[in-house]
Amino acid sequence: MTAAAGSGQRPARPRQSLIVPAGLLAFLVITWLSLSDQFGIGFDLGAIIEDITNGGRILITESDSAAQRGLLVPNWAFLPRTVDPMLETFKMAVVASVVGCTVALPVAFTVSRVTAPNGVVLFLGRTVLSVVRAIPDLLYALMFVAAVGIGPLAGIVALVFFNIGVVAKLLSETVDGVDPGPIEAARAGGGNRTQTVRWAVLPQVLPNYVAYSLYTFELNIRASTVIGIVGAGGIGNLLFTQYRFFNWSNVSIVVVTLFVFVLLIELISIWLRRRLV
């Protein structure tokens, strides 16, 4: 029994930490500076309320001319023109997923602490992979459009780099958390590094790898739309063309086509991942 308990006195109340109030104050200050005119973006709620009705013309304008209709008045006659660009986007996503995820598999084993040959390879591999992930897919598309010209090839190469960065990162983290028992057994049986990875590590991470590949394929459908805006082919090119001419009813059809297609791909992908993982 302590002296404080023996004397019947209450123990001293612990001092309240100032971390939470200080963090909240710092958050409020940073938010205020970000919204201010002098240091931030110049956020003006009054201007937003005043100009919010300007979008009404884009949304609900009705006209006998399809080129003058709003987004909420879709031009269904334009729907057949979205089929070929949407198929091109799908083909781009398929090719980029196959190539990118295939390359990402061995890369992931070189940037994992469990399977990397040595510390130098691990450091260099992670550094290069960080650079690959740091560059946005849109910038990749711009570079490859300049290098190989306008068309789906530039989009495919841009998506390949995007896929390598995503899948290799996710898979390497999965490899880091595998059960070490099969690895120790393979090494004890005289297996070299390649044999250990093939028979002790790959079977453990293969379901996750397939799931990551399917997830990346979903991302490719969305990303190919964005990179198509800069000339990398696909439905994004058609979308940007209609946007430049303010054909909002045609833009609406492209958006609807994208939504339905992406939703179907995502539902199929979710169904497959639930049976693999």
The DSSP symbol for 114 reads: T
Asked if residue 1 has pLDDT above 60, the reply is no
CATH of the domain at 240: 1.10.3720.10
Same domain, yes or no: 29 and 149: no
The verdict on residue 10 lying in a domain is no
Tokens of 183: 């690895």
The verdict on residue 11 lying in a domain is no
The verdict on residue 3 lying in a domain is no
Q: Among 29-38, 122-131, 177-186, 199-208, whose mean pLDDT is lowest? A: 29-38
Higher pLDDT, residue 220 or 35: 220
Asked if residue 160 has pLDDT above 90, the reply is yes
The verdict on residue 13 lying in a domain is no
- Rounded Cα gap, residues 264 and 83, in angstroms: 15
b/e sequence 59-75, b meaning 16+ C-beta within 10 Å: eeeeeeebeebbbebbb
Residues in the chain: 277
Same domain, yes or no: 108 and 27: no
Cβ(168)–Cβ(104) below 8 Å: yes
Q: Which domain holds residue 150?
A: 76-276
Same domain, yes or no: 149 and 45: no
Tokens of 87: 């198929």
Separation of CA 3 from chain center: 60
Same domain, yes or no: 186 and 257: yes
Same domain, yes or no: 119 and 28: no
Higher pLDDT, residue 73 or 174: 174
Separation of CA 66 from chain center: 35
Same domain, yes or no: 41 and 154: no
Separation of CA 197 from chain center: 28
Higher pLDDT, residue 24 or 45: 24
Same domain, yes or no: 24 and 156: no
Same domain, yes or no: 98 and 150: yes
The verdict on residue 37 lying in a domain is yes
Same domain, yes or no: 25 and 155: no
Same domain, yes or no: 40 and 149: no
CB atoms within 10 A of CB 83: 11
Question: Mean pLDDT over residues 172-201, rounded?
Answer: 90
pLDDT tens for residues 227-257? 888 887 788 889 888 888 888 889 999 999 9
Same domain, yes or no: 25 and 116: no
Question: Mean pLDDT over residues 208-231, rounded?
Answer: 87
pLDDT tens for residues 197-210? 989 999 999 989 98
CB atoms within 10 A of CB 161: 21
Q: Domain total for the chain?
A: 2
pLDDT tens for residues 51-71? 676 666 677 766 656 666 777
